[in-house]
Structure 1
Amino acid sequence: MTGRRATATTDLQAANCIDYGKQCSRKGYFISRKAAVLIAVVYICSLVLTGLLVFYCVPRSSSSKLQASDTNLARTFRMRPQVTLPYQKTHSSNRLTTHTIPTHYRIQLVPFIMEDNFTTSGEVWITLKCLEAADNITLNINDIEVQESSVKVTQLHPKKDLSIQVVDHVYNTDAQTYSSILDQQLMPGGQYELYIKFMGHINDHLQGFYRSSYFDPETGQKRWLASTQFSPTDARRAFPCFDEPAFKARFTVSLARSANLSSLSNMPLNFTEPMSEIPGWEWDHYNETVPMSTYLVAFIISDLHSLDATMTNLSISEDSFRFTVWAREFALPQTSYAARIGPRILHYLETYFNIPFPLPKQDMVALPDFGFSAMENWGLITFRESALLYDANISTEVNKERVAEVVSHELAHQWFGNLVTPWWWNDLWLKEGFATFIGYQGLHHVEPSWRNKDQFIRDHLQEVLMLDALESSHPISVPVQHTDQIREIFDRVSYCKGASVIRMMNHFLGEETFKRGLTNYLEVHKFSNARQDDLWQQLTLQAHQDGSLPLHMTVKEIMDTWTLQTGYPVVTVTRNYLNVSAYISQERFLLSSNTITNATWWVPLTFTTQEAPDFNMTQPQLWLENVQSTVVEGLPGNTSWVLFNVHETGFYRVNYDHANWRLLISSFQQLPDVTRAQLLDDSLNLALSGRLEYRIAMDLTSQLITDVEYLPWSAALTALEHLDTMLALTPAYGNFKVCEAGIRRGILTSFSVAYFSFTSN
């Protein structure tokens, strides 16, 4: 590479001057004979090495015709060394340019699902629109061998198409890109077609186009299948593509398969025909998709069996709509619960968003091997078996709840993530946070007795409050460029904190304003991409129209403090019992309390009092408007408690003065179980951080002796586990264990009384 070679030569010359005490004049370099010999040897070796690299690493071209002999593709591909193109900036970003954008892909894949040859042979025709003049077309590939002699670029004209010559092929293995270098410029506004024939692997990494297997319980035979997992950046492992979420296009997929297997893709099957090249094989041709991102494309080739879901009394999209669940033949009966709730949740979400589901079918598939719980591929959702299968005879209620939660989460993605997709992965939370929050709404619709809206507080909000109190946390919206960085942000901050601040926003805007704002956002950006500011804009317009937000405030101004900075505040309420007021202040909550920051948030403040308790009023009575403190007046006297953050709708903790904590402890058993869980979680974590004396936290915890509700106990046990770890090597550990044992004995006694009372009746 010339850039590196020039630098190395200059460095060597400078070293010679230093080593031999020679002065380098302007007209040349004067070096010793030994140095000259050394340079000559290095130069000759570099020439030999370059020749070897060219001979062994440059891919050889092959026939452009599809042959059965393609099945002999070598398992390991050789890629060219990384090359920095003259038109690329050498920076850390792996992003594609926007010189050309795809509008349509026609993909033909021949997957060979054979134990001695898990390979694919494929062809892709990509229709492109040129936005800026460029002499190259660069797109993503990974673990794919381009058959260079097949690559063609055509300028599309109404009268006659024009061929453009490809003069070079350049690979960047770090950026996972392939570039066709052209002999002329592509013209802005022009329509072009790029054709590539390629070879690939059906890998065993559970990413890209991968293989899976299971054993037939009757015959003991091992059965193979092939499926896809393209999110976030692995469509490029299956076919050359513009593998970024903003490059939406339509896809027409054709899959070849053995006649004893079947295939699935995002859209319904259009028609099947015999495959002339391989006897006993068939082509499945699928209908064209709506505009979508590459990570949502999916296909499966298998011998799985199906169960059609019941659609009675559900007005989903149109009469011909089909909802189907797939699994191994002997596991198919275990899909009945998912088949029952899936259409009901989908119908609920259509009503919630006031936008019809845009596809003519929805498949949900249980796969023997899957790297995640599930993946929201549009119209073809894939699941780990444990996230979709439920057998009432052997599964627990926890299993059932898990299936319902995952199904609802993935169906919510069909709008948030699929219909409207984030521009880039820094806004991953925009789809995952919403799918988590809205998924709980769908779950509540089909299983209201589970109280999952309250369960959300334990499963998501309180869990991530603990994680986000660490200095190692990160903002919800975080800049990412490399594929490794993208994978790292699929974490509880993106999912759980994202969902929790959305829940907070739902409460401070009000349910109806929130829903109307979401509908407007989805309508404006459907089949396209959006950034978080686009959502803030629509919610602000609706909030101002409805009067649910003062005109001097915007959702962007509020929510940027929650999405663009790390952590969250602890709100400290210090009451003045003489003038019945309270001084309210905020600071970032960190478990390592020695760290001081100046961060502030727009904090929606809700509160209720012992004199007039109201645990349903969750719209803010006042705000901490991104300032350190404020004062609240008109509070009750010193015999009544005050409680802030009603129903824990805000993403923050609350600390009180000593007297108010004592008032709350004395009334603990009269408070709702959600509030009891909130007080336990806050007090124990405040004690962990050194902001509250342990006596207050343990006195609250001792109230659990007669408490038989799940939420308070779950909150306390999680925090007590951390206390156990921290105190294990201290003198206080013995006293702590005695106290903890007393609390546990109390609950065992309470449960025993409740159990015997229940069984006797």
Structure 2
Amino acid sequence: MGKVYYISKNVGLGLLLLAAIALTTILALSIAYHKEKMKNQGASESSVPAAPTTAFTPKDPWDHYRLPDALVPVSYRLNLWPRLQPNEDGMYIFTGQSSVIFRCVKETDLIIIHASKLNFTTTDGHQAKLSGVGDARAPVIQKTFLVKRTEYLVIQLRRKLTAGATYLLETGFVGELADDLEGFYRSEYTQDGVKKVVATSQMQATYARQAFPCFDEPAMKAVFNVTIVHDPSYVALSNGKETDISEVVIEGVRVKVTTFEPTERMSTYLLAFIVSDFDHVQSSQNNLLIRIWAKRTAIADSQGDYALSVTGPILQFFERYYNTTYPLSKSDQIALPDFSNGAMENWGLVTYRETALLFDPVLSSTGNKERVTTVISHELAHMWFGNLVTLKWWNDLWLNEGFASYVEYLGADYAEPTWNIKDQIILYDVHRVFAVDALASSHPLSRREDEVNDPAQISEMFNTISYSKGAAVIRMLSEFLTEPVFARGLSSYLNTFAFGNTVYTDLWDHLQQAVDNTPSLHIPRSIGEIMNRWTLQMGFPVVTIDTRTGSVTQKHFLLDPESVVDRPSQFNYTWFVPIKWMKTGVEQQQYWLLQNTDTHRPMSASGSDWVLANTNVSGYFRVNYDLDNWDRLLTLLNTHHQALSVINRAQIIDDAFNLARAKIINTTLALKTTKYLSKEREYMPWESFQRNLGYFILMFDRTEVYGALQAYLKKQVQPLFEHFRTLTANWTRVPEGHTDKYNQINAIWIACSVGVEGCRELISSWFRQWMDNPGRNLIHPNLKGTVYCVAVAFGGAEEWDFAWRMFKNSTLASEALRLRAAMACTKVPWLLNRYLEYTLDPTKIRKQDATSTINLIAQNVVGMPLAWNFVRAKWSDIYELYGKSSFSFPNLVSGIATRFSTEFELQELKKFKEENQDVGFGSATMALEQAIEKTKANIKWVSENKAEVLRWFTEEST
């Protein structure tokens, strides 16, 4: 599944800085990009009942969440008829017939198959019909019944099935085509004043069972034969190509019947079927049909053309990278008005939010284009890694999503080589996940199978650790193996296990074979030994280099060094660390730290020599130095910062600020890494600074420190603002460089937030021109998020209401997203309270956007207490409406608590946890524990650093 981007990257940057003006915070960026690639921290929520107050002890086979291993599916024949008009009860329904051929591998008198939210028709008083295939004789059914807790249809037989024999199980059923964004569901939109209904699907992770009875586990692969009955004026899509479309009369109704070619052998979570009034654009590549589907107006406005133009090249890249031909006959991608995730890699029919697939050549921004490219690349990477070869169980989800989150940059770089996008993994994934993995409540990438059983536990795996840490350690692995060796091992793995299932160690084995066949490559331990340290224990090390002696040490990095790590580690939190480094600008031979303490004499330095470790952040660890080397690096930044790469300038800032939060270095040392920024013009260091200063804003924007902080920020950003004013000829041109476009936005956001002369007036005048002439928006798409948020923030009800009207009338999803985010920027409490109420009304805010909208409001310093009170008061309703289908649900809890830094707020958070145990927290359970941990750390940090920070900002701002 794709990572989730709830707001555009540019809007996220804006929200970040408006925190500095009592509006929004750093968390908006993490929601903005992730990229949650969450492509992907991106996933669906579980539909399990609320947590019981007493523990449940399984007694019967159907009490366990995992299927028995006695039966294996071979193929399904599935016929579905979604009704896109409500029935006499006002409900939208679908009817279906399913037959599954399965093989018995162990004698059993039970058939247990997943089924949820379906009403079954009966045959001879039973909810299923069983027959033998070939010579097999089917036992008589004794009893059938449904189990709600574990979501099973259970068929008890009078005698046992025969091992080795094959059988056919047939069912007929009715389901609701609800608007809950899971299983087979309903999406609605308005076109030319007419309401349109789409029947669409989302099966990952455990929702296929809501569409038809199935063995709904990733290892239970089978071939699917799908037929869809639908309105003659609509089109039906599924994983395979259409093989037959005919018109018939059924039950007195003229319908079309669309039959699709059989799928390849695949998992249930990758199945998809859609009935819509959509249009498409298409192309052909080596006899492969490529189509982009969307609402007719979007296709007519050429919003699918860019996606079509990059899909072919990205597929070509992955065919070469994997050394494996794309295994299907077509590639459909479709933009849906209502979709809970960023995107989903259904094999041959990839589904997307509209903002992740559609790009308007006139109205969309550079950030919109980058998002479309990277999300497409992420999903197409899954066509091989995840779909062709699938992990056996969800405990290894990280390898599937982490891998796609890494190689998405490679595919996007091939499609858009001038962007230099591969470097952005540092900002969007590595630095992002560092913040989570430095908590005592983090978890290993790979969990034991028995830790991931029920749907809620499965949903919880779709998090930043799986996506972004997975990407970071896979990138590190590729770096120390070299890309050619990594690709050879990967190709061997995919070809060996095509159409099958694996565990993560299978990949290590094939990479080891590639290493063994490369005599020139020397690594100190086997792939398995090295990678187990990074995947089977949580966290990461801080590597400390003492250049006076050449001493190199490692230690488990914890943001709160006083926190207690309850999770044991068989490796005692020691890693095998590959360290790429340089000395006084000269790259050195890679060094491996294999123990807690070592001495590497070449790393000693004196005089003007300096050492920099983890060049280009190729490893997943932080770096600390002795004070002498820190001073030499600070001098280098202040005198000749271009001597260090852009990535490493960003790294020094990020490492220093986090080392300071962990009490490893002094906070003023971290702040000193930002003094050179008045001379910095590159995006990555400024972005790293913004994110880290964002923490200071969160902790101090309600205290006397904030004034001095703003004054320092104004002093630092003024040259950057003037640089872009000149570069753009007084804001009339667009910077040429890809990241320059983003840094222009940084310059404007920060300048407006701290009161640089003329900034707010400039923004307000642009917005006022649009208000005076709504049909003529002359604001450049790259700057719209900036302009909208600042104008609404410094305006009142008139600006907010105008933004609301434009939001409701917008026909471009990315434009609607910018406006939805901007409305959370107002400082008027009653407007924010009204907006919060809108999130519970799907006619105003779509269900897919509700929790992220609440979160955006919570990032506003004015909106935070309002959102917190709203969530507490309406937790039962919010959990029922959104906690079971919205991937952003964990972000809701963590987002609201981001600014918490007082003992009173900590007690409120604990009370919230206690008072809602009966309702439950679903996949937000871990997020709540992490919010409590972060709040404790915030309290201590503020207490210990407030006076020193105030003094430093006061001295440096003059």
Q: Same fold (TM over 0.5)?
A: yes
Q: Relative to 1, partners in 2 of residues 1:257 and 1:733: Cα closer, same or farther, differing over 3 Å? A: closer
Give 2:460's match in structure 1, choosing from 488, 500, 512: 488
Deviation at 1:567, TM superposition (A): 1.0
C-alpha distance in 2 between matches for 1:119 and 1:753: 60
Cα shift at 1:732: 5.6
Higher strand share: 1
> Do structure 1's residue 707 and structure 2's residue 675 form an aligned pair?
no
SS in 1 for 2:673: helix
Which among 70, 78, 89 is matched to residue 107 of structure 1? Answer: 78
- Counterparts of 1:418-429 in structure 2, within 5 Å, are 418-429=387-398
Q: Which moved more, 1:638-647 or 1:551-560?
A: 551-560
Amino acid at match of 1:455: Q
Q: 1:167 is matched with which residue: 142, 150, 165?
A: 142
Tell me how far apart the structure 1 counterparts of residues 478 and 58 of structure 2 sit (CA, whole Å): 48
SS in 2 for 1:714: helix
Equivalent residues of 1:164, 1:184 under 8 A apart? yes
| Higher helix proportion | 2
Whether the 8 Å CA contact 1:270–1:287 is kept in 2: the answer is yes
Q: Which residue of 1 aligns with 2:647?
A: 674
For 2:453 and 2:619, the matched residues in 1 are separated by 31
Contact kept? 2:99, 2:170, Cα under 8 Å: yes
Tell me, what secondary structure is at the counterpart of 1:371? coil
The number of aligned residues is 657
Deviation at 1:334, TM superposition (A): 0.5
- Residue 285 of structure 1: CA displacement? 1.2
Pairing partner for 1:213 from 188, 198, 217:
188
Residue 122 to residue 628, structure 1, CA distance change in 2 (3 Å): same
Once residues 644 and 517 of structure 1 are traced to their aligned partners in structure 2, the CA distance between those partners, rounded to angstroms, is 28
1:735 Cα shift?
Answer: 4.6
Partner of 2:68: 97
Secondary structure at 2:308 match in 1: helix
* Cα shift at 1:250: 0.3
Please tell me the residue identity of whatever aligns with 2:453.
Q
Deviations 1:141-168 (A, max 9, x none): 110122232622122225xx53421110
C-alpha contact 1:84 1:172 (8 A) present in aligned 2: no
Partner of 1:38: none
Instruction: Tell me the residue number matched to 1:301.
Output: 275
Q: CA deviation at 1:191?
A: 1.0
Distance 1:250 1:226 in 2: 22
* Structure 2 CA distance for aligned equivalents of residues 755 and 664 of structure 1: 32
Q: Note if 1:270 corresponds to 2:243.
A: yes
Secondary structure of 2:517's aligned partner:
helix
Larger CA Rg, structure 1 vs 2: 1
8 A Cα contact 1:208 1:237, kept in partner? yes
- 2:131 equivalent to 1:154: yes
SS where residue 137 of structure 1 aligns?
A: strand
Bigger mean CA deviation after superposition, 392-401 or 113-122: 113-122
Post-superposition offset of 1:386: 1.0
CA contact (8 A) 1:510 1:548 kept: no
Contact 1:520 1:538 in 2 (8 A): yes
- Deviation readout 1:543-576 (Å, 9 max, x if unpaired): 1221365476111111111112111111011122
Q: Is the 8 A contact 2:547 2:606 kept in 1?
A: no
Q: Aligned residue for 2:696?
A: 723
Which residue of the partner structure matches residue 436 of structure 2? 467
Paired position in structure 1 for 2:767: none
**Which residue does 2:298 correspond to in 1?**
331
Aligned to 2:953: none
Q: Is this contact kept in 2: 1:152–1:164, CA < 8 A?
A: no
1:575 counterpart letter in structure 2: T
Matched to 2:272, the amino acid is A
> Relative to structure 1, is the Cα distance of residues 513 and 398 closer, same or farther in structure 2, using a 3 angstrom cutoff?
same
Q: State whether structure 2 residue 550 is matched by structure 1 residue 582.
A: yes
Following superposition, the deviation at residue 261 of structure 1 comes to 1.3
8 A Cα contact 1:166 1:180, kept in partner: yes
Structure 1: 5+ residue runs without aligned partners?
1-82
Distance 1:270 1:572, change over 3 A: same
Whichever residue aligns with residue 212 of structure 1, its letter is S
Instruction: After TM superposition, give the deviation of residue 621 of structure 1 in Å.
Output: 1.8
The answer as to 2:610 corresponding to 1:641 is: yes
Conservation of the 8 A alpha-carbon contact between 2:227 and 2:258: yes
The answer to whether the 8 A contact 2:440-2:564 is kept is: no
Code of the aligned partner of 2:458 = I
1:632 aligns to 2:600 (yes or no): yes
> How far is 1:350 from its partner?
0.5
The change in CA–CA distance for 1:111 and 1:756 in structure 2 (over 3 A counts) is: closer
Please list the CA deviations of residues 718-759 of structure 1 after superposition, one character each: whole Å capped at 9, or x if unmatched. 001112333456776555444333222343344445445998
Deviates more, 1:685-694 or 1:544-553: 544-553
The answer to whether the Cα contact below 8 Å between 2:384 and 2:494 also exists between their aligned partners in 1 is yes
1:687 and 2:660 correspond: yes
**Aligned 1:404-419 pairs, distance under 5 A:** 404-419=373-388
Contact 1:152 1:165 survives alignment (8 Å) = no
Distance 2:115 2:332 in 1: 28
**Structure 1 residue 86, shift from structure 2 partner:** 6.6
Which amino acid is 2:598 matched to?
Answer: T
**RMSD of aligned residue pairs (Cα, Å):** 2.2
Matches within 5 A, 1:122-141: 122-141=96-115
Q: Secondary structure at the match of 2:304?
A: helix
**Distance in 1 between the 2:228 and 2:273 partners?**
8
2:255 is aligned to: 281
| Cα displacement (A) at 1:216 | 1.4
CA shift at 1:198, angstroms?
1.5
- The whole-number CA distance in structure 1 between the counterparts of 2:392 and 2:682 is 43
- Asked if 1:382 corresponds to 2:357, the answer is no
Measured in 2, the distance between the counterparts of 1:475 and 1:87 equals 31
Q: CA deviation at 1:596?
A: 6.7
Residues 680 and 700, structure 1, Cα contact 8 Å, conserved in 2: yes
Q: CA deviation at 1:375?
A: 0.7
Tell me the amino acid that sits aligned with residue 418 of structure 1: N
Task: After superposition, give the CA deviation of every residue in 1:369-420 in whole Å (9 maximum; x if it has no partner).
Answer: 1111111100001111111111121111111111111111111110111001
Cα 1:89/1:553, change in 2 over 3 Å? farther
Structure 2 counterpart SS, 1:685: helix
Determine the C-alpha separation between the residues in 2 that align with 1:440 and 1:215: 35
SS at match of 2:178: coil
Instruction: Describe the superposition over 1:218-266 as per-residue Cα deviations: whole angstroms up to 9, x where unpaired.
Output: xx11111100000000000000000000000000011111211110010
* Residue identity matched to 1:364: Q
Aligned match of 1:529: 501
Q: Greater relative contact order: 1 or 2 (C-alpha under 8 angstroms, separation 6 or more)?
A: 2
Q: Percent identity?
A: 36
Matches within 5 A, 1:308-323: 308-309=282-283, 311=284, 314-315=285-286, 319=287, 321-323=288-290
Matched to 2:174, the amino acid is M
For residues 255-294 of structure 1, the C-alpha deviation after alignment (integer angstroms, 9 at most, x for no partner) is 1112111100100111123334233112211111110000
Which residue of 2 is the match for residue 573 of structure 1? Answer: 545
1:739 is aligned to 2:712: yes
Q: How far did 1:170 drift?
A: 2.7
Structure-2 separation of matches of 1:452 and 1:376: 22
Deviates more, 1:116-125 or 1:198-207: 116-125
Q: Give the Cα–Cα distance (whole angstroms) in 1 for the partners of residues 718 and 458 of structure 2.
A: 47
Residues 415-437 of structure 1: per-residue CA shift (max 9 Å, x gap):
11100111111111111111111
